[in-house]
Structure 1
Amino acid sequence: MPIYNAGPYVERCAPSLVNQSLGADAYEVVYVDDGSTDDSAERLRRLAEAHPHVRVFEQENSGWPGKPRNVGVDRARGKYIQFVDQDDELSYEALERLYALAERNGSDIVLGKVHGTMAGPSNVFKRTVDRCTAADAPLIESLTPHKMFRRDFLREHAIRFPEGRVRLEDQLFMARTYVRAKTVSILGDYPCYQWNRREDGGNNSSRRITPDDYYGHLDKVVEAIKEGTEPGELQNRLLRRSFRVELLRPVSEPRVLQRTGKDLEEYYTTVRRMAMTSYPPGVREGLPAISSLRAELLVQDRLDSLIELARRTQRIKARVEVDDMRWRNGKLVLRTRIGMVKADGEPLTVVDRGGRMLLDPELLDGIPGAEDWEVRDPFSHAYGELIVHDTAGNHWWYPDGELAPALEPLGGGRQRVVVAGETIIDPLTLAGGDPLDGGSHQVWAGGQLLGVGRRPRLAVAPGPTRVSLGAIALGTPPRLVSPGWGGPGGQLRLTVGGPGRIGPARRVVLRTAADHRLRHGVREVLRRLPDGMRANVRAAARRAERRMLQ
């Protein structure tokens, strides 16, 4: 852990480090104080006196975390290195679980699931993966160094952090490790690393970033990937991440709509030059439709077109449709589809013209250089998923099921791209194999189509499409799980009670999975009845249910 003027964060974060379940005799905590001018050094000395497995080293200020991290690696005596920042914490079993996974698979790197106020959902941690590499897993989407590394792996390849005030030093370090690691493991079923946002904003540097400075350092990340890979699809795929996320950011919404004048011109000139000189052509060619169009407009020197494209794309929203929702064998099963709609509410489409598939002509109408933009693969980078957010613990969990991309005809050669499928939420196993904790759990959707990514709440308008289900008791001892629509936007939420006895005073009907199948069949029968008879049957059923609750 590199330390600089951490103050009370030393004591705030220390308990999670010194009290790991692995046992104090199995690991050490190495603090490197980077010339703090507050009382951090004294706090660290007291900590070392109280805990024999804590070691503290002091050095003159280097101005950035790179050098203290390198010093920590040089002084470390363990088989594995886990980097932690001074504001952050480790979960109680983090080292034990990460170490076990590394030993079982001979891993060079182990990624532990990240959570906390600085971390949103990342499907890199969707599942635990014993063995993978950058060639067959989306590792390049996780570029923070808060991971476990085999110490000899770092030394064998002379992988070190750049020292001094270097932007993107974490990305450079991770790029060098990913392209050399033969075995990487991912621990996705246990939140290991708590990435915290400081109340005083201390996570963020106050130093002004210039385009030449930032993108000069990004160029070093690009070069590191090129040095570690052969030209071809793997190299292109790894480089697409920085092209899509960092390079296109200044010419995409919202940045290109916020900057003006000289500030905008400097960023635009810098990223345009880098797009044309640093990346192989295959990187741009493999981007999804709207991203590849941005790249083309950038190369064509059409800033005004990029601004207008950003203005229109910013108004695109995701539309989530719930085709079905039911309990099945104690699991909540949802059939959903996600599509994108423009500002006028019309679907974002592709259009077949003379055998060529073109990106929505109405979206691009009047944008110079964007006319008749061909979509080579409408499913490129298309994905969709449902995510469950434990609001109390701030954990994100990924249920089983995949949403697959498909084209739906709209007539006149127009088709919309959607992702659709079945998702199964098992409240008894969703939290990394354990039951969901008691409390409220929000269901979100996420998806990317044609280069537009959105993460909307799973919410549908009241009416026939909004399915309401009763509560169900699951597990032993039983937990009451109740799905319902509420909160901002009428979002789907799962309210989970704590384990224990559930009595009749709760005024709720507890139903088994078989009960729910029966109720679904009854609803189908009711739909076929005349209106008057249907109302009478439903009224009689409600009276019977009230009598059961008395």
Structure 2
Amino acid sequence: MSKVKVSVIVPVYNTGKYLAECAPSLLGQSLPEDEYEVIYVNDGSTDDSLGQLEKIAAAHPNVHVHTQSNSGWPGGPRNLGIEHARGEYVQFVDHDDMLGSEALERLYAHAQRNKSDIVIGKLSTTMARPRRLFRHTVDVCTVENDELMQALAPHKMFRRAFIEEHALRFPEGPWIMEDIAFVSAAYLKAERISVLADYPCYYWLKRDDGGNNTGQRFGPRHDFWGNLRTIVRQIKDGTAPSDDIDALQNRLLHRLYHVEVLSRAREPEIVREDPDEQRRRFEAARRTAVEEFPAAVREGLPAVSRLRAELLERGDFDAALAFAQHIREVKAHGEVSPPRWEEGCLVSDVTLELRRGDGEPLVLVERNGRRYLDPELLTGVPGTEDGWDVRDPFRLASAELVVKDRDRDDWWYPEGDLELRLLPAGQGRSRIVASGRLRIDPERLAGGRPLDRGVYEAWAFVQFLGIDRMVRLTDPTAPGSPAAGPALTGGRIALPYWTKGPGQLTLDLGERLRRFGPDTAEAAAANDARGGRWFPLPYVAATKSAQPLPVKVTVSTLTVTADLVPAPDGGTALLRLPARLKLPSGRHPVTLPKTDAPLAYAVVRDGTVLRTEGPAHATGAGRRILHALTDNPQVRRVRSRLRGTT
């Protein structure tokens, strides 16, 4: 009997259709079936969930089902799953999410290679922005890595002996943020934490019935603020206090303060919720901030967040609301140069900044050797008449380019970093900008592997002064038009274009939505000097490879492998058909996969490819003479020798 490497623990409550959507991703793993188990814990479901689970278990010997009375939240079922687990590692999955097909195999191998206590697999989601944590695969890190606090959901792989050694369990009952309590405790104890960022392991997707949101976290069944205080004290108990804003304890608490506390004092919540209800939340957040969080946490915030914290802890709801209304109007703005192909990559120069609601750049005002926040953001905010000091304009600032796989909701990070700078804006003002180069490499972007056939959108994420925004990289003057010439990369057509509407830079790889269409008659007609079988693809960027690349093409009804070779001028690629084809004599259309219109016609005589012609190429008298010469055996021998020296 094989060793159980991984136990997948899935709490289940009234799943509806989502169980049927999740189950195939768990049962279809590349890890052999006898090397992992799936443990479903039915938390007293009142629908047909238990019946569905029993059918799955009857068909799969590595699936086990346990049932308990309803506990009201996932913590209890997960703990029961831990008690029954036999795997060396446990992986937590929610019943309405999915795993990548190779997730368990890859995560376990990464864990074994690095002797990891915890492995965090790349998250793909429609529920949150991309996380910097998944920019690079990390062999070993610890809680000292700030990026870990971006990933506090439980959907990770934990070494079971590590869980037992430290008696780690989820809080049970209707305990909101039970996942943060468990994961933060695990981070504090772990000696070796690994990140697998080169493969989408976990798909956390928005349910169309809203069942996986936490909109009721402030309901009467949950003690949100009491639970938050428990988590804060847990972190404080596990770290040393310090007045240094960059000390470990203050960095770990920053995430809880910024996300769970300041959210009650900022947009969209403070401008969206019922004012009376929001005032109650605001006051509860104020008490928690003052009583539980060290002053160094607030002092370490960037300028906008620090002002929010000041207004919150002062208890000034109206000022916080006015400030939030100004910040809500701030948008990220990106400028991109005309994209171009360089060494097989789609390249564009990018500049990013923040702009106010009136469209003007958000600026810092310099006065008496100090910088102050843009005064337009402070209108109607009491206590800021003399301005708000920006001590460090780059405090916790970042900017990055990301590429979204529209079909699979995966986010990929192109190589290269953006540079943050302060640029003069005139009259003693300056603005924060991020600039750099977008390089989309279709052959390496997916964690070092080629991108799948699909549609890929270019985005940027900026976080300046405590304001974070996603922005599409667009050219609003060219919606719907090509953004650059097509490329043939990895044997697939790559078509850059600006989308309709916003004009977002997008790459269609493998003709998922768009089609390659330029007529190639002139180039095809000029190929005789290359021996007949060479076919130039005009306006198509050459592959990066210096060696011939095999490419599937269809000649009439016959699918064959041709060679793609970079042309000497670097501006085209040459496609060379095989010397012989099992086709009748005649003129046969040549097409690339998923392409309807012929790129050329292959002229075949007695199974030998004589030449290629463009779709519009006419056979005149001169061509008839050439045909006759081609049929002459002596001429064919000469051509054959020439072909050998090409």
The normalised TM-score by structure 1 is 0.88
Question: Structure 2 counterpart of 1:47, which letter?
Answer: I
Q: Is residue 324–residue 467 contact of structure 1 (8 Å, CA) maintained in 2?
A: no
Change (3 A) 1:19 1:264: closer
Q: Distance in 2 between matches of 1:157 and 1:182?
A: 12
RMSD: 2.6
Structure 1 residue 159: Cα displacement:
1.1
**CA displacement 1:93-142 (0-9 Å, x = unmatched):** 11000000000001111111122444542222112111112212401111
SS class of match (1:456): strand
SS class of match (1:490): coil
**CA displacement 1:205-258 (0-9 Å, x = unmatched):** 685724982222111121121122112411111111111111111211121112
Alignment match, 2:165: 156
Candidates 214, 228, 252, aligned match of 2:224? 214
Aligned residue runs from structure 1 range 274-313, under 5 A: 274-313=288-327
2:490 is the alignment partner of 1:470: no
Aligned residue runs from structure 1 range 516-535, under 5 A: none
Structure 1 residue 414: Cα displacement:
0.5
Q: Is residue 437–residue 498 contact of structure 1 (8 Å, CA) maintained in 2?
A: no
**CA displacement 1:441-483 (0-9 Å, x = unmatched):** 11111101111111011013328xx9942111112xx111121
Aligned residue runs from structure 1 range 222-371, under 5 A: 222-232=232-242, 233-323=247-337, 325-371=339-385
Aligned residue runs from structure 1 range 459-498, under 5 A: 459-462=474-477, 468-475=483-490, 478-497=491-510
Candidates 118, 128, 139, aligned match of 2:137? 128
SS class of match (2:107): helix
Structure 1 residue 146: Cα displacement:
0.7
Q: Distance in 2 between matches of 1:377 and 1:274?
A: 26
Change (3 A) 1:30 1:389: same
Q: Distance in 2 between matches of 1:13 and 1:511?
A: 41
Which is richer in helix? Answer: 1
Alignment match, 1:87: 96
Q: Distance in 2 between matches of 1:517 and 1:449?
A: 43
Q: Tell me which moved more, 244-253 or 189-198.
A: 189-198
Change (3 A) 1:118 1:355: closer
Alignment match, 2:198: 189
SS class of match (2:502): helix
**CA displacement 1:282-307 (0-9 Å, x = unmatched):** 11111111000111122222222111
Give unmatched runs, 5+ long, in structure 1.
520-546
SS class of match (1:396): strand
Q: Distance in 1 between matches of 2:482 and 2:157?
A: 44
**CA displacement 1:144-169 (0-9 Å, x = unmatched):** 10110001111111110000010111
Q: Is residue 47–residue 54 contact of structure 1 (8 Å, CA) maintained in 2?
A: yes
Q: Is residue 290–residue 313 contact of structure 2 (8 Å, CA) maintained in 1?
A: yes
2:42 is the alignment partner of 1:23: no
Change (3 A) 1:315 1:238: same
Candidates 453, 460, 466, aligned match of 1:451? 466
SS class of match (1:28): strand
| Percent identity between the two aligned chains | 48
Q: Distance in 2 between matches of 1:503 and 1:308?
A: 54
Alignment match, 2:540: 510
Candidates 446, 451, 455, aligned match of 1:440? 455
Question: Structure 1 counterpart of 2:498, which letter?
Answer: W
Q: Is residue 66–residue 163 contact of structure 1 (8 Å, CA) maintained in 2?
A: yes
**CA displacement 1:47-81 (0-9 Å, x = unmatched):** 22221111222222212111110011111111100
Q: Distance in 2 between matches of 1:189 and 1:454?
A: 24
Change (3 A) 1:128 1:449: same
Change (3 A) 1:35 1:446: same
Q: Which protein, 1 or 2, shows the higher relative CO under an 8 Å CA cutoff with sep ≥ 6?
A: 1
Q: Distance in 2 between matches of 1:128 and 1:472?
A: 29
Structure 1 residue 491: Cα displacement:
0.6
Aligned residue runs from structure 1 range 408-419, under 5 A: 408-419=423-434
Structure 1 residue 398: Cα displacement:
0.8
SS class of match (1:145): coil
Question: Structure 2 counterpart of 1:265, which letter?
Answer: R
Alignment match, 2:150: 141
**CA displacement 1:279-332 (0-9 Å, x = unmatched):** 111111111110001111222222221111111111111111124633211112
Structure of larger gyration radius: 2
Change (3 A) 1:8 1:456: closer
Question: Structure 2 counterpart of 1:425, which letter?
Answer: I
Change (3 A) 1:242 1:349: same
Alignment match, 1:380: 395
SS class of match (1:488): coil
Alignment match, 1:401: 416
Alignment match, 1:539: none
Give unmatched runs, 5+ long, in structure 2.
1-9, 522-537, 544-565, 572-612, 617-646
SS class of match (2:346): strand
Aligned residue runs from structure 1 range 92-111, under 5 A: 92-111=101-120
SS class of match (2:34): coil
Q: Tell me which moved more, 121-130 or 449-458.
A: 121-130
